[in-house]
Structure 1
Amino acid sequence: MRSCYLSRKTNETEVEVSLVLEGRGVRTISTPIPFFDHMLDQVARFSNVDMEVKVTGDIDVDGHHIVEDTGIVLGSCLSDALGDRKGIERFSQAAVPMDEALVVVTLDLSGRPYLHYEDAALRGHVPLGSPSFDPQLAEEFFRALCVGARLTLHVDYVRGKNTHHMLEAAFKAFGRALGKAICITGAEVPSTKGVI
């Protein structure tokens, strides 16, 4: 069973993450930002990865450190759980609508961290919840996760008006794409290089 537990403590945050890739989407999420909890919940649910995330930190400054550091640890934990990435599907895409919003996520568990984040439809939207989640933080989360997990990720907000719908569609689409990409569908490393 592919799994991992990682923790990271800095002067700004303390993050603990546990993942089981062959899971059922069972999750326990606790950060100081309720909307962020809701988004991480979507990732676990739609990827079918069992996930425990516990985060504390300097929410009085703002949510940036909490969101970015969670991405770092979650990404690193995902990379460790994937191991040599032997037999994985590797590439995946998911398009998720949520009412008027549509987001397309494409990913490659390539070993090369890269984020393309096209959020023109989302710019200028107001923060959500209390303590608030600034929509700009979604990009920071995905960037940190890409670096930690060594994956290539394209997130395209095709359309939308409601901030909640747009962000939730993005996290759901990421979860669905991740769930497909981590599936074991072969016996070899899916690369002509022989390693990822």
Structure 2
Amino acid sequence: MRIATINRDTSETKIAVTVNLDGTGVYDIDTGVGFFDHMLEQLSRHSLIDLHVRTVGDLHIDQHHTVEDTGIAIGEAVAKALGDKRGIHRYGDALSPMDETLTRVALDISGRPWLVWKTEFSQKRLGEMDTEMFQHWFHSFAQAAGITLHVETLHGENNHHIAESAFKGLARALRKAIEIDPRKGDAIPSTKGTL
């Protein structure tokens, strides 16, 4: 079982994350930001990664540190659970429709973190979450996990749908990429021999 726990303890946040990459999408999440919790629940459910997150952050200031550091901790946990990445598919992509919204997500578990973000919101907040923090979360997650990640909303009007389709798209692409490919055995999926 590919399981990892990360504890991140700073003057701004205290975070405990556990992931099971071979789970069933069971989650237990509390970040103090309700809409953010809802998005992380979508990530868990649709990736089939069991996800336990406890974040206590300096929300009396704003959400920045809470969202950023949670992204870092989840990314670090995924990277740790993947180990040397033997046998994984490595690449994943998904088209994620949600009513009028369609988001395309493609990723490579390359060890070379990068985010291309082509998603916009027409309002500043969803629930109590600042919409500018979505891009920041995806960036923090991709950097910490060592993932090249492209997220593009091809069409969308409803801000809730736009956010949710991005997280569901990430979940489904990640599910493909982390799955063990029986044809690869325990080979590292790179001609370099390392990722």
TM-score range relative to shorter protein: over 0.9
TM-score of the two chains, using structure 1 as the length reference: 0.96
> Distance in 1 between the 2:123 and 2:109 partners?
30
Pair 1:171 & 2:170 matched: no
Q: Which amino acid aligns with 1:174?
A: L
Q: Which amino acid aligns with 1:126?
A: K
> Distance in 2 between the 1:144 and 1:128 partners?
20
Which structure 2 residue ranges, 5 or more long, are not aligned? none
Given that 2:121 and 2:159 are in contact with CA atoms closer than 8 Å, whether structure 1 keeps it comes out as: no
> Distance in 1 between the 2:121 and 2:54 partners?
29
Q: Which amino acid aligns with 1:157?
A: T
SS at match of 2:84: coil
Given that 1:15 and 1:53 are in contact with CA atoms closer than 8 Å, whether structure 2 keeps it comes out as: yes
> Distance in 1 between the 2:63 and 2:157 partners?
23
Kindly report which structure 2 residues correspond to 1:49-128, keeping only aligned pairs within 5 A, or say none: 49-119=49-119, 122-128=120-126
Q: How far 1:147 sits from its partner (Å)?
A: 1.0
Kindly report which structure 2 residues correspond to 1:1-196, keeping only aligned pairs within 5 A, or say none: 1-119=1-119, 122-129=120-127, 132-185=128-181, 186-187=184-185, 188-196=187-195
| Per-residue Cα deviation, 1:8-46 (whole angstroms, up to 9, x for no partner) | 111111111000111000110001100000000000000
Which structure 1 residue ranges, 5 or more long, are not aligned? none
Q: How far 1:62 sits from its partner (Å)?
A: 1.1
Paired residues, number? 192
Q: How far 1:146 sits from its partner (Å)?
A: 0.9
Given that 2:67 and 2:133 are in contact with CA atoms closer than 8 Å, whether structure 1 keeps it comes out as: yes
> Distance in 2 between the 1:156 and 1:128 partners?
19
